[in-house]
């Protein structure tokens, strides 16, 4: 059933910073089909987290639905009848039940077929319901065009040079249709907000007039008269991308007759300017914009109908592209879709080959996960300090790993530390092998407290921890000594406030008691924190003039609170005032004249 073909890999593909990386597409598998496919589309139809495939079969007036499972791969396919000449498919939830439905543009019937998802465990659809479109519909796109929550449709009518807007009633039916004229022989369409007003606009390729018709959404699903932008010869397909990540949506267009691809830059209001052209394989047709290597920038995949190949153009992260790979597929590839078939987090490619009646599967084996890396934790950091980590160098990856940081900022160098990107929590979006990364974060405002920075690159995690030291020595404090207190009285000190510490600090006392924040007085060793108030209590001496010293210790700093009782009368060692008892003893002697002071 399967046939293996070689894949040609580019070995010198340039990317941002001059680092050579390439998407690795595994040798393809060919999946045979019973009919020649016109187009292939992919969405998860049954909530099993794998994208299922829908193939339009123009010759048999059917579509083929191929369920895909992460465990068993492609399962049994089912065909559903649609209108005559199905050539385009749009997948979206039209009925509002949370399951993806199918819309098919039938070129020969001039209709759109809607197949509603039965919302069962398998992938099953109700029979098709048809709605009139213009003459010769060849392309279709779904979107929220009128501002409600239900997906509408726009169909490109090649034979009538128009587009038809089908408005969803809210139940999956489309009773209202409005048509707009465009250029000659329109062939393809994309929907995007080109003027930045929050509504989906339309860009239509007109192959007959070598132009683009831009229809800007005026609200409620109505569009202004088309603006025309001239193109090169025979435009074949169109894709939307932000090639330079400036926030505006640009366009890529293939040109079949000149074997080329052109890029048009958006001026932000819906005006487009030609910026570059690239040579492709023979007769390039279908075009897909998708990030294939995980660097956050859109790459381009082109189906070369005439040469049976696909060309991969990798974005160099500066808005230009280089040929990253060319791979052989089936005969006459006419459609490309991206789908993560193996559920490994990257975009694989499915190509429908009309000439060989099969699908080509190219699995993306690009390695987005670096080898484990480690930022060295830092301790004993002052509070509120900006800390920069060590530098780690990424290894072990072939693609670009998405960068996610929990707090703080990071900076990336692509030239061995010569230059660094600005500190940011969101730029650049990804890094690759050889890139160097460092982190920056502010330590906690509290002592003995950790700040943890989680850094994920391509899903690989390391945590950078910054821990502060604790200042346990308070600012100097002072208790005011007291004198002349009554004998044996209870004395209270002034109240001091603890400042200058950022961790709980020990407190102890000798010779008295203390109270914290007005609580009970105690002699037990305890702890205080910044902002606590402390007051002392002691009992005065029972003798006059005797001091009592109370020593309070907080975190190694101390002060002595001294209280002294009322002073005793004293002669002072001669010539002083005599005590009363001495006078009483001297009175008889003075009367006899026998006392002589010496």
Q: For residues 445 and 416, what is the distance between their CA atoms, to the nearest angstrom?
A: 34
> If DSSP codes are grouped into helix, strand and coil, which group holds residue 443?
coil
Residue 544: half-sphere exposure toward Cβ, Cα within 13 Å: 5
Average pLDDT over residues 554-570: 88
- Which of residues 19 and 136 earns the better pLDDT score? 136
User: Which residues lie below 8 Å from residue 205, measured CB to CB, with a gap of 6+?
Assistant: 186, 187, 188, 189, 212, 231, 235, 236, 237, 238, 253
Which neighbouring-strand residues pair with 463?
454
Does the model's pTM come out above 0.75?
A: no
Confidence of residue 594 (pLDDT cuts 50, 70, 90): very low
Q: Could you tell me where the beta strands, DSSP code E, fall in 29-185?
A: 29-32, 37-43, 52-57, 62-66, 68-69, 73-74, 78-81, 86-92, 101-106, 111-115, 129-132, 137-143, 152-157, 162-167, 176-181
Q: What digits encode the pLDDT tens for the residues 415-470?
A: 999 999 999 999 888 999 999 999 999 999 888 889 999 999 998 999 999 999 88
Q: Is the pLDDT of residue 199 over 90?
A: yes
Whether a cis peptide bond, with omega within 30° of 0, leads into 7 is no
* Backbone torsions φ then ψ of 572, nearest 5 degrees: 75, 20
Average pLDDT over residues 153-159: 98
Q: Is the pLDDT of residue 66 over 70?
A: yes
Average pLDDT over residues 211-231: 93
Confidence of residue 570 (pLDDT cuts 50, 70, 90): very low
Q: Which of 364, 343, 333, 294 is nearest to 44 (CA)?
A: 343
Average pLDDT over residues 67-79: 85
Token match 């000190």: residue? 493
Q: What digits encode the pLDDT tens for the residues 321-366?
A: 998 888 999 999 999 999 998 888 889 999 999 999 999 999 998 8
Q: Is the pLDDT of residue 12 over 90?
A: no
Token match 């707009």: residue? 180
CA angle 347, 283, 323 (to 5 degrees): 45
Q: Which of 64, 7, 70, 80 is nearest to 31 (CA)?
A: 64
The pLDDT assigned to 9 comes to: 27
Give the whole-number percent of the chain exceeding pLDDT 70.
91
The pLDDT assigned to 254 comes to: 97
The pLDDT assigned to 569 comes to: 62
Going from the C-alpha of 380 to that of each of 217, 242, 443, 445, 468, the distances in angstroms are 59, 46, 10, 13, 5
Q: What digits encode the pLDDT tens for the residues 382-420?
A: 889 999 999 999 999 988 999 999 999 999 999 999 999
The radius of gyration of the chain's CA atoms, rounded to the nearest angstrom, is 42
The residue count of the chain comes to 598
Average pLDDT over residues 181-191: 98
Q: For residues 16 and 430, what is the distance between their CA atoms, to the nearest angstrom?
A: 10
Three-class HEC string of 383-428: CCCEEECCCEECCCCCCEEEEEECCCEEEEECCCCCCCCCCECCCC
Going from the C-alpha of 280 to that of each of 4, 93, 264, 505, the distances in angstroms are 24, 35, 17, 73
Q: For residues 94 and 166, what is the distance between their CA atoms, to the nearest angstrom?
A: 11
The pLDDT assigned to 14 comes to: 28
Three-class HEC string of 31-42: EECCCCEEEEEE
- Which of residues 230 and 594 earns the better pLDDT score? 230
Q: For residues 260 and 277, what is the distance between their CA atoms, to the nearest angstrom?
A: 7
Q: Which of 213, 210, 209, 211 is nearest to 201 (CA)?
A: 213
The pLDDT assigned to 22 comes to: 64
Burial class (CB in 10 A: 0-12, 13-18, 19+), 306: middle
Mean pLDDT, all residues of the chain: 89
Token match 């559903």: residue? 80
Q: Is the pLDDT of residue 216 over 60?
A: yes
* Backbone torsions φ then ψ of 16, nearest 5 degrees: -55, 135
User: Which residues lie below 8 Å from residue 426, measured CB to CB, with a gap of 6+?
Assistant: none
Biggest distance spanned by C-alpha atoms of the chain = 156
Q: For residues 29 and 352, what is the distance between their CA atoms, to the nearest angstrom?
A: 12
Q: For residues 160 and 182, what is the distance between their CA atoms, to the nearest angstrom?
A: 9
Residue 283: half-sphere exposure toward Cβ, Cα within 13 Å: 8
Q: Is the pLDDT of residue 58 over 90?
A: yes
> If DSSP codes are grouped into helix, strand and coil, which group holds residue 127?
coil
* Backbone torsions φ then ψ of 595, nearest 5 degrees: -105, 130
Helix (H) or strand (E) holding 583: helix 580-592
Q: For residues 146 and 473, what is the distance between their CA atoms, to the nearest angstrom?
A: 67
Q: Which of 344-348, 458-462, 478-482, 549-553 has the lowest mean pLDDT?
A: 344-348
Q: Is the pLDDT of residue 577 over 70?
A: no
Which neighbouring-strand residues pair with 393?
436
The pLDDT assigned to 322 comes to: 92
**For the sheet containing 235-241, what is the strand order?**
235-241, 250-255, 260-266, 272-279
Q: For residues 435 and 432, what is the distance between their CA atoms, to the nearest angstrom?
A: 6
The pLDDT assigned to 325 comes to: 82
Do residues 433 and 392 lie in contact, with contact meaning Cβ atoms separated by under 8 Å?
no
> If DSSP codes are grouped into helix, strand and coil, which group holds residue 47?
coil
Q: For residues 205 and 187, what is the distance between their CA atoms, to the nearest angstrom?
A: 6
> If DSSP codes are grouped into helix, strand and coil, which group holds residue 58?
coil
Q: For residues 68 and 341, what is the distance between their CA atoms, to the nearest angstrom?
A: 7
* Backbone torsions φ then ψ of 591, nearest 5 degrees: -65, -30
Q: What digits encode the pLDDT tens for the residues 82-114?
A: 999 999 999 999 999 999 999 999 999 999 999
Q: Which of 23, 65, 11 is nearest to 398 (CA)?
A: 23
């Amino acid at each position: 059933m399967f046939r293996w073909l070689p894949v040609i890999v580019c070995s010198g593909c340039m990317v941002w910073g001059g680092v050579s990386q390439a998407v690795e597409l595994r040798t393809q598998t060919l999946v045979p089909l019973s009919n020649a496919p016109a187009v292939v589309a992919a969405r998860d139809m049954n909530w099993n987290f794998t994208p299922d495939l829908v193939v339009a079969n123009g010759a048999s007036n059917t579509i083929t639905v191929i369920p895909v499972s992460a465990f068993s791969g492609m399962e049994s396919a089912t065909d559903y009848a649609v209108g005559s000449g199905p050539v385009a498919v749009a997948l979206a939830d039209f009925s509002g039940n949370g399951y993806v439905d199918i819309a098919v543009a039938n070129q020969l019937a001039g209709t759109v077929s809607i197949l509603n998802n039965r919302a069962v465990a398998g992938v099953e659809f109700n029979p098709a319901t048809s709605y009139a479109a213009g003459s010769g519909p060849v392309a279709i796109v779904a979107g929220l065009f009128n501002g409600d929550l239900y997906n509408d449709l726009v169909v490109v009518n090649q034979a009538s040079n128009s587009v038809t807007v089908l408005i969803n009633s809210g139940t999956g039916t489309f009773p209202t249709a409005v048509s707009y004229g465009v250029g000659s022989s329109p062939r393809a369409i994309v929907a995007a907000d080109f003027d930045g007003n929050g509504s989906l606009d339309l860009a239509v390729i007109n192959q007959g007039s070598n132009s683009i018709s831009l229809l800007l959404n005026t609200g409620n699903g109505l569009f202004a008269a088309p603006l025309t932008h001239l193109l090169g010869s025979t435009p074949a397909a169109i894709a939307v991308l932000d090639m330079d990540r400036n926030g505006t949506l640009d366009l890529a267009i293939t040109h079949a007759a000149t074997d080329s691809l052109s890029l048009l830059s958006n001026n932000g209001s819906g005006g487009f300017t030609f910026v570059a052209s690239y040579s492709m394989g023979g007769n390039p047709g279908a075009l897909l914009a998708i990030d294939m290597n995980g660097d956050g920038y859109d790459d381009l995949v082109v189906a070369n109908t005439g040469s049976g190949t696909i060309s991969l153009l990798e974005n160099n992260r500066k808005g230009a592209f280089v040929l990253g790979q060319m791979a052989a597929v089936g005969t006459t590839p006419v459609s490309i879709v991206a789908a993560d078939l193996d559920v490994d987090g990257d975009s694989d490619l499915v190509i429908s080959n009309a000439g060989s009646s099969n699908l080509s599967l190219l699995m993306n084996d690009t390695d987005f996960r670096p080898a484990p890396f480690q930022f060295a934790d830092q301790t004993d950091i002052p509070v509120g300090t900006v800390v920069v980590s060590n530098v780690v160098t990424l290894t072990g990856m072939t693609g670009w790993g998405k960068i996610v940081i929990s707090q703080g900022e990071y900076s990336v160098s692509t030239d061995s530390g010569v230059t660094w990107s600005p500190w940011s929590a969101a730029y650049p979006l990804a890094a690759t092998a050889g890139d160097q990364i460092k982190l920056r974060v502010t330590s906690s405002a509290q002592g003995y407290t950790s700040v943890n920075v989680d850094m994920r690159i391509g899903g690989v995690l390391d945590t950078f921890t910054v821990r502060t030291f604790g200042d346990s020595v308070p600012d100097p404090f002072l208790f005011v000594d007291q004198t002349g207190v009554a004998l044996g009285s209870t004395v209270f000190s002034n109240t001091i406030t603890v400042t200058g510490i950022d961790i709980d600090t020990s407190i102890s006392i000798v010779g008295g008691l203390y109270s914290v924040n007005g609580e009970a007085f105690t002699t037990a060793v305890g702890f205080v924190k910044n902002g606590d108030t402390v007051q002392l209590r002691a009992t005065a001496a029972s003798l006059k003039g005797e001091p009592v010293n109370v020593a309070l210790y907080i975190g190694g700093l101390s002060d002595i609170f001294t209280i002294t009782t009322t002073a005793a009368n004293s002669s002072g060692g001669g010539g002083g005032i005599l005590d009363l008892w001495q006078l009483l003893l001297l009175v008889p002697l003075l009367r006899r004249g026998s006392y002589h002071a010496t």
